Amino acid sequence: MSTRRDFIRISAVGAGGTAIAWPLIQSMANAPAIADKAIYESMRRTPTYCEVCFWKCAGWIHKDDRGEVWKITGNQGDLHSNGRFCPRGTGGVGMYTDEDRLRTPLIRTEERGKQVFREATWEEALNYIADKLKKISADEGPECTALFSHGSGGKYFGTLLKAMGSPHIAAPSYAQCRGPREVAFQNTFGEGVESPERTDIRDTRCLVLIGSHIGENMHNGQVQEMSDAIDKGAVIITVDPRFSTAAGKSKYWLPIKPATDLALLLAWIHVIIEEGLYDRDYVEKYTYGLEQLKAHVSGMTPEWAYGITTIKPDIIRQTAHEMGHASPAVIVHPGRHVTWYGDDTQRLRAVAILNALLGSWGRRGGFYRPESMTVPEPPHPEYPVPKRTWRTEFPDLYPLADTVLANGVCDATIPDPSRGCNFKAWIVNGTNLIETLPNQENTIRAIQSLQLLVVIDTMPMEITGYADVVLPECTYIERYDEIRVSAHRKPQIALRMPAVKPKFDTKPAYWMARQLAKKMGLESFFPFEKIEDLLDWQLQQLGTSLAEMQRIGVKTFDRTADDLYFAPGEEVEFYTNTGKIELYATALEQAGFDPLPKYTPHEEPPAGYYRLNYGRAPMHTFSRTANNANLTDLMDENTVWVNPKVAAEWGLQNGQYVHLKNQDDKRSEFPIRVRITERIRWDSVYMVHGFGHDQKKMKRCYGKGASDTNLITKVLVDPLMGGTGMRGNFVTFVTEIEEVGS
Amino acid sequence: MRYAMAVDTRKCVGCSDCVVACQTENHVPIGYCRDWVVEVTDGTYPQVELEFRSERCNHCANSPCVRCCPTGASHYEAGGIVTVTHHRCIGCGACIASCPYDARYSHPDGYVDKCTFCLHRVEKGLEPACVSACPTKCMYFGDLDDPKSPVSLVLRTRKHKTLIPEAGTDPQLYFLI
């Protein structure tokens, strides 16, 4: 394979022969473009919303007597956090203090036959990008530029793309994460679950978690509400081959055989229909397709499911009864990262159907109706209408995807004679695609086909090593961003403002995007020179102001109507073909897919191999926090969880380092420690995602633990919406290891 | 007045927010901690039990660390909070050796440091940083002599335990089970 782009470890900076990798002194000429310094300099605490994960809790950044960042706490009025941050949010300080941060713009160049980065001024870096983007737009069309974003700054790079005429704004949070559940719920209830999830956990009487590890995923509001539910005596049912933290809080733990969840769900549906445990009035009034569903599941008895799932029939019935008794205050949780086996939308359809039968959608203790404010966009010229989209290139694929697929853009970047246009430029904002997209080889092949790769980040993540230009963003502690709009029990907005001036020669996204727009003649799409003026203009329309929000941080509005839950007997029109909750999904049928979910067996690990399951740890958000000093203090490497029986077979010792090797002979780049534990089934292993980093410049996390993405070479794609199922990989142990870092 | 803390192991998810909140609040250097989380697994798959405990100094009513301190740096504050006066500490480490809970550490600046129940916050009527930050609200703090304090209320209604009671130190950190 040609490697036009050599991976540059960011420390390899060409500095005209000198060995200084980083500027020691900040150039005053490049002082940050933050106006009104006095405002935050005079404040002992400034409002923010967290950027460590997508939950975006609103809180306060506190400064000490010297004006240094001291600690971060929650804002009492915030609906996402209720004034309590999770460890990552509290530890967000470490993102700001990290000495390994990107410090200055970098441009790829060649020195004596070797590719290196050279430090550049903002002017140089932005000119380089603007010239390239203009050329690519002229030669290939503006549609050939794509944005990948998983950070707040993405909003403004999105504006830039739309202004150029490209619709290609992709987020790995869809097809690599929650896409299937959105599509499944849209095709059942006519609406998605959205984020934060509209689950009314605090008032539920029965919470069913299927592989969803709340408590290890610290999605703050949900963790808090699960705790409230425990206090109130709610029944928790956890389905997981691993004894998760949530399993430890559960009345029932169903240690299911991996990849068989759909059979369990269908058996539950069977019991609930056959025993009449469903909400009859609700189902009759609001749903479509009960008879078809009843016929469909008639043979799917608990005894049938037992042979597939290894869950005993009486436990399946007992747990179904628990759900029936709690109805409608029951939540069969849709989960979040649900791209597992390629039939994920259908599995999530079964989850949606179960909720519909139990009458939990629109009911207290089930799913509430969120409401949000709309932040007005400033007046700007019409965006040009794109002539092509990625859809044009893949006309028959993934008909139910309702957003641009990150993996779709990636695939369409690799040149193929059958396609007219391939992507030529990527702008990557705050997402480490190398670790985010499965099948790294494919991602790197796509990158090698690009004419321009711009990476905007605060840290020298792996993706920066493939960039042509690296733009160092200041952290969320040092910048304004768009107003956070929450869809919640009440509409709420939150402000992020800088607590301190940006360290090093780093800049906020709004400034970068606007400067690029200016250089490309698209300035009119960014009518406000300063983001403060934009935010103030927007906030004024919402009946507040920047000055007020700087003081209070969050503002909660009243709902337009008292309709958090369906009123008794309320007539509800659902956004589906039939206007009803579709147990039988007519839109799926029209698109040529099963209108009712069917169980299909998935491949099982060959002898000596174990299914690779992965997940989160509460103190990390994947790559983003891997080098955060406060958080590596809590967990600095991941381990591979191994059942004691398996460990005995392999002669593994607790704490020993091994390599993992997958079914395609792909070996983990770094060794990983064995954790022998009764908390894992014998047919699978488990590791926390986000470790095994390959960038030496990230000193605390380099070579610590192993990367699961490294081992996910087999991707099971969901034909409905293009989700990339990642749980069909099997690994075995390689006990001979070389020295770490050699 | 008798300050005490109770941690609900049924709600704690072991996230360690208490550890970071303490670290930032009290300027505890990276690499050190005044509180920590213990995970205890019991049983054989699939009959498994799991307990998370946020642990720290037990602020014992009969503290071996106070008794063995040669300079008087380790002492009781009002309400029984055990603290170390940094400038009187010679860093000899006798207290570290005497503590059955391993709750103390040698600060790189040469003195011994430990949990203070955030005395500086408690004096202002605030909760300790760990208690106020915990997303699961699994920690309760207050005065045991006040029957209406959160910790008194919860200890009255919930089954609880202390750690290593056989050491006879009369620990004031309770775990709800």
Look at A86 and B135 and tell me if their CB atoms are within 8 Å: yes
37-56 in chain B: CB under 8 A from chain A: 41, 43-46, 48-52
- Total domains in chain A come to 4
Burial degree of A30 (CB within 10 A; 0-12, 13-18, 19+):
middle
- Residue A38 confidence (pLDDT): 60
- Total domains in chain B come to 1
Last residue of a domain, one of A536, A559, A590: A590
Where residue A212 sits, what CATH number does that domain have?
3.40.228.10
Question: Which of the residue ranges A36-40, A151-155, A179-183, B4-8 would you say has the lowest mean pLDDT?
Answer: A36-40
**Count of CB atoms within 10 A of residue A25's CB?**
5
Last residue of a domain, one of A561, A590, A619: A590
Where residue B57 sits, what CATH number does that domain have?
3.30.70.20
Tokens of B56: 């720290």
Tokens of A430: 């705050």
Between residues A171 and A702, the one the model is more confident about? A702
Nearest CA in chain B to A226: B136
Whole-Å CA distances, A416 to A170, A393, A423, B57? 21, 10, 11, 64
Whole-Å CA distances, A397 to A67, A170, A591, A724, B142? 54, 17, 11, 13, 61
**Both A49 and A195 in a single domain?**
no
Whether residue A230 has pLDDT greater than 90: yes
**Both A80 and A43 in a single domain?**
yes
Mean pLDDT within A649-655: 97
| B51/chain A closest Cα distance in angstroms | 8
Tokens of A529: 């020179």
Alpha-carbon distance of A426 to A413, in angstroms, equals 9
A461, A623 in Cβ contact below 8 A?
A: yes
Q: Which residues of chain B have a CB within 8 Å of the CB of A224?
A: 135-137
- Contacts (Cβ under 8 Å, ≥6 apart) of A488: A79, A80, A196, A370, A371, A372
- Residue A622 confidence (pLDDT): 83
**Both A686 and A712 in a single domain?**
yes
117-146 in chain B: CB under 8 A from chain A: 132-138
Is the C-alpha dihedral spanning A499, A504, A510, A511 positive or negative? positive
- Residue A264 confidence (pLDDT): 98
Tokens of A23: 């500027």
B140, B126 in Cβ contact below 8 A?
A: no
Whether residue A517 has pLDDT greater than 90: yes
**Chain A interface with B: residues with Cβ < 8 Å:** 70-74, 81, 84-87, 90-91, 93, 215-216, 218, 220, 223-224, 226-228, 230-231, 243, 245, 247-249, 253, 255, 618-619, 629-631, 633-634, 643, 677-682
Quote the percentage of chain A above a pLDDT of 70: 94
Q: Chain-wide mean pLDDT for chain B?
A: 97
**Both A151 and A230 in a single domain?**
no
Whether residue A7 is contained in a domain is answered as no
Whether residue A3 has pLDDT greater than 60: no
Look at A247 and B50 and tell me if their CB atoms are within 8 Å: yes
Nearest CA in chain A to B25: A71
- Residue A33 confidence (pLDDT): 43
Look at A84 and B10 and tell me if their CB atoms are within 8 Å: no
Whether residue A29 has pLDDT greater than 70: no
Shortest CB distance from B23 goes to which of A231, A630, A682?
A630
**Both A219 and A146 in a single domain?**
no
Mean pLDDT within B53-64: 98
Q: Which residue matches tokens 């269908």?
A: A266
Nearest CA in chain B to A217: B15
pLDDT tens-digit profile of A540-593?
999 999 999 999 999 999 999 999 999 999 999 999 999 999 999 999 999 999
**Both A200 and A150 in a single domain?**
no
**Both A415 and A280 in a single domain?**
no
| Gyration radius of chain B's alpha carbons | 16
- Residue A403 confidence (pLDDT): 84
Look at A253 and B46 and tell me if their CB atoms are within 8 Å: yes
Whether residue A182 is contained in a domain is answered as yes
The domain of A410 spans 13-25+101-170+375-473+508-527
**Both A463 and A381 in a single domain?**
yes
Of A698, A303, A210, A687, nearest to A462 (Cα)? A698
With cut-offs at 50, 70 and 90, classify the pLDDT of residue A28. very low
Mean pLDDT within B4-21: 98
The domain of B37 spans 3-176
**Both A394 and A328 in a single domain?**
no
Whether residue A119 is contained in a domain is answered as yes
Whether residue A286 is contained in a domain is answered as yes
- Residue A6 confidence (pLDDT): 78
Q: Coil, strand or helix: which one is A673?
A: strand
Whether residue A602 is contained in a domain is answered as no
Please give the torsion angle defined by the CA atoms of residues B144, B145, B147 and B150, in that order, rounded to the nearest 10 degrees.
Answer: -30
**Both A463 and A480 in a single domain?**
no
**Both A200 and A336 in a single domain?**
yes
Tokens of A26: 């900040």
**Both A538 and A523 in a single domain?**
no
With cut-offs at 50, 70 and 90, classify the pLDDT of residue A151. confident
B82, B66 in Cβ contact below 8 A?
A: yes
Whether residue A8 is contained in a domain is answered as no
B21 lies within 8 A of chain A by CB: yes
pLDDT tens-digit profile of B13-54?
999 999 999 999 999 999 999 999 999 999 999 999 999 999
pLDDT tens-digit profile of A85-109?
999 999 999 999 999 999 999 999 9
- What's the complex ipTM? 0.97
Alpha-carbon distance of A593 to A228, in angstroms, equals 40
Please give the torsion angle defined by the CA atoms of residues A467, A471, A477 and A480, in that order, rounded to the nearest 10 degrees.
Answer: -120
pLDDT tens-digit profile of B95-118?
999 999 999 999 999 999 999 999
Whole-Å CA distances, A405 to A29, A111, A337, A432, A563? 40, 37, 15, 16, 34
The predicted model scores a pTM of 0.93
Query: φ and ψ at A141, to 5 degrees?
Result: 105, 145
The per-residue b/e assignment along A180-189, b for 16 or more CB within 10 angstroms, e otherwise, is bbbbbbbbbb
Where residue A467 sits, what CATH number does that domain have?
3.40.50.740
Q: Which residues of chain B have a CB within 8 Å of the CB of A93?
A: 24
Whether residue A430 is contained in a domain is answered as yes
Q: Which helix H or strand E contains B42, and what residues bound it?
A: strand B36-44
